[in-house]
Amino acid sequence: MKTVAGAFLLAVLIAPVQAQTLPGGFVFLRDIDPTIIQDIRYASSNNFTGRPLAGYGGAECVVKREVGLRLKAVQQELAQKNLSLKMYDCYRPARAVADMVAWSRNGKETAAERRYNPAFAKADLFRLGYIATHSLHSTGAAVDLTLVDLTADNSGKFDPAKDYADCTAPAAARAPEGSVDMGTGYDCSDVKGHTATDRITPAQRRWRTMLVAAMARQGFVNYAKEWWHFSLPGAGGPAYDFPITRAR
C-alpha cells in the first residue's frame, strides 16, 4: 500500500510540471490531430535566416483551438486521397517577427539567403508584402502549410552544407521539401510563389488548386502572394509573444 500511495503522490507532483497551459485559447495542434505532419522551419536552420528565430524553443505548431479543429477536418478529407497536411509555421511569437525585421536590416546578403528571394534584396521583403511587421501568425489565426503525398518517397532531407538552387528552380535542384511539387519551395519570395501565377506547370497548378479548395471548404483564406499561407477570419485577436516550447 505504501508503494502504491507513493507512486500516486509522485504522479500528482510530476503532472503539473508535464502539463502545459497555453494562453488565449491556444492549443498544440498535435493534441488536436497528431496525424498532421509538422516541419516547423523557424525552429531550425532550414529557413531564410539560416538559424532558429527568437521564441521558437520547440518545433511545435501552436494555433487557436478553432483553427486546429478546422485543420483536423481538412486532414480527414485529405486522408481519403492518401494525402496529408504538412505545417511549416503556425503561431509566431511577436519577438520572432521583430527578429525577422532585424535580419532584413542587417546589411548582409548571403548566397543561402538569396535562395529564398532571388529577384530582389531582402530589405525589400516588407515593402513588397512578403513579410509583415505585424503578422497574423502572432494571433494564432494564420498558418503556413503544404500537401504531402503519403504514397510518394518523402525521404529527402535538408543538408545545410549543400549548395541548392534557388526556390524557383525545378524540385530536383532546390532544397528538398518532402512534399508535393507546388512549383516553388516554401517561403519563396518571388512572383512564381504567388498562388495564381501562370509560371508553373499544369501539375503544380492542380496541387495548388487542391490545397486552396480543401482549405476554403473549412473557411480558410489564402494570401495571394504566398501559396502556402492561409488565415481563418474571425479566429484571431491580439498579437501574442509567449515562446513556443515542446508540447510534452
The CATH number given to whatever domain includes residue 76 is 3.30.1380.10
∠ CA 96-158-82, nearest 5°, is 95
Residue 144, marked binder: yes
**Quick one: pLDDT at residue 192?**
97
Distance, in Å, from the CA atom of 172 to the CA atom of 145, rounded to the nearest integer, reads 20
**Quick one: pLDDT at residue 128?**
85
Beta bridge partners of 56: 244
Establish whether 226 is a catalytic residue: yes
Q: Is residue 5 part of a domain?
A: no
| pTM of the predicted structure, to 2 decimals | 0.90
- Domain span holding position 97: 25-231
Residue 134, marked binder: no
In which band, very low, low, confident or very high, does the pLDDT at 10 lie, cut at 50, 70 and 90?
Answer: very low
pLDDT at 14 over 70: no
∠ CA 79-56-155, nearest 5°, is 40
For the segment 123-174, what is each residue's pLDDT rounded down to a tens digit? 888 888 888 788 999 999 999 999 999 999 999 999 999 999 999 999 999 9
Q: What domain count does the chain have?
A: 1
Higher pLDDT, 12 or 107: 107
Residue 229, marked binder: yes
Query: What's the mean per-residue pLDDT of the chain?
Result: 91
